[in-house]
Amino acid sequence: MKSKKIEVKGTEITFYSKEHDDFICITDIAKYKDSNRTDYIIQNWMRNRNTIEFLGIWERLKVTTQVCFSLL
């Protein structure tokens, strides 16, 4: 995997590329809010209704060959 870094509002964010897919490091984004408690920030994002809805829509758009499941 190849990585690149950009700076956003004084925080360095890492992007990873593999073939035609790109990935972003959400831990780096969470460092902007609280550099000591990134685990807590990400935990709150994953519980947020908007995040869950976004992930559901993303899965429907991006996953074409895999079996999708819904969160209860």
pLDDT for 11? 87
CA separation for the pair 41, 35 (Å, rounded): 10
Q: In angstroms, how far is CA 13 from the centroid of its own chain? A: 11
Q: Give the containing element (helix H, strand E) for 17.
A: strand 11-18
pLDDT for 37? 94
Q: Cβ of 30: how many Cβ atoms within 10 Å?
A: 20
Task: Divide the 72 residues of the chain into consecutive groups of 10 and give the mean pLDDT of each group.
Answer: 87 87 87 91 92 84 58 49
pLDDT for 63? 64
pLDDT for 24? 86
